[in-house]
Amino acid sequence: MPRIVVDFADRRPFLRPPGWVVDRIRAALPAEWEVVSVDAAAEGVGDGGAATPEALAAVADADVYFGFGVSAEILRAGPGLRWVHSGTAGVGASLTPEMLARDVVFTNSAGVHAPAIAETVLGMILHFARGLDIAIRNQAEARWAKEPFDAGEPPVREVAGSTVGIVGYGGIGREVAARVVALGARVLSLKRRPAEASPHGVEILFGAAGLERILAESDFIVLTAPETRETRGLIDAAALERVRPGAVLVNVARGGLVDEAALVAALRDGRLRGAALDVFATEPLPSSSPLWRIPNVLITPHVSGYTLRFWDRETALVEENIARFLAGRPLLNVVDKVAGY
């Protein structure tokens, strides 16, 4: 009897799947398939966590595995696995030597989190564009202080007419672009490979020259690229030196894309208007990090993708891929194990 293991019992109550998720997965499969739902709490943060003993036992005779990340232990425990799927978008922690050595098909949930993350990015942009960071500080001190807003070069601007640079024009990047274009912004977007024609209001760029234009021209730089060998440390001291003065950096990708020490220096010397950060090199962000104490930094604890609609989108993706798997058709969201996303 073919078996599929569903290891989606996130340890966070907010993201534990409703009962109908497994019911719909079961309904998408032929009657001869066995569906094993693992009840042990799984780690769905970031790229996913280590496997539980219950999950390891369940995959011993399984053909398919759904979880948060796919650990080396899962692959070793499931020699018959033909398809593995992660409920996360990030896959770096899953690209172990065991994964690279196996011909198992690996899919992820890229795009499932995109609408929620894009709305977070929009909020972060508006936070600095409209001076809400200054207003929040004044409110905390019960100060009616208009002086920063009355200055010759006030710290506010309109999103309309500004330039938003998006580093990583995948599912999240496209959702961000759609929202800021609707507000009247011009978008420069960086992709690794040539792709479709640029949609209205978006100019698609490539390579080092494309990144240089984004750094030089953008009022808001939004990082949505996966962390790979090519993107790790992409925004370093040299890159920050080339950023347009007064720009805002938004990172909802992975902390490893940014040299945090260089970012602190750029914020302290006034090169940047501000930084909005949802991800960090070390998580949780240590209390000793100077980022906590810089007034023009907005910090969220890696929650930009949280949404009550996650399981609707995730289950729809899984159902579509089950149909494709059973029919022998290419799956959606297949991870390029060499490229790293």
User: What is the Cα 150 distance to its own chain's centre?
Assistant: 37
Q: How far apart are CA 171 and CA 118, in angstroms?
A: 10
DSSP 75-87: HHH-TT--EEEES
Per the structure block, which two tokens stand in for 141?
């001190």
C-alpha separations of 173 from 114, 210, 230 in Å: 8, 15, 18
The question of whether 54 is a catalytic residue gets the answer no
Give yes or no: 26 in active site.
no
> Among this protein's residues, is 293 annotated catalytic?
no
Tokens at 98, concatenated: 């065991």
For the purposes of burial, counting CB atoms within 10 Å of the CB of 81, is it exposed (0-12), middle (13-18) or buried (19 or more)?
buried
Is 94 within 8 Å of 48 (Cβ atoms)?
A: yes
* Active-site residue (options: 158, 212, 241, 283): 283
Catalytic residue among 113, 254, 273, 314: 254
- 211, 235 contact by CB (below 8 A): no
Report, as residue numbers or ranges, the catalytic residues: 254, 283, 302
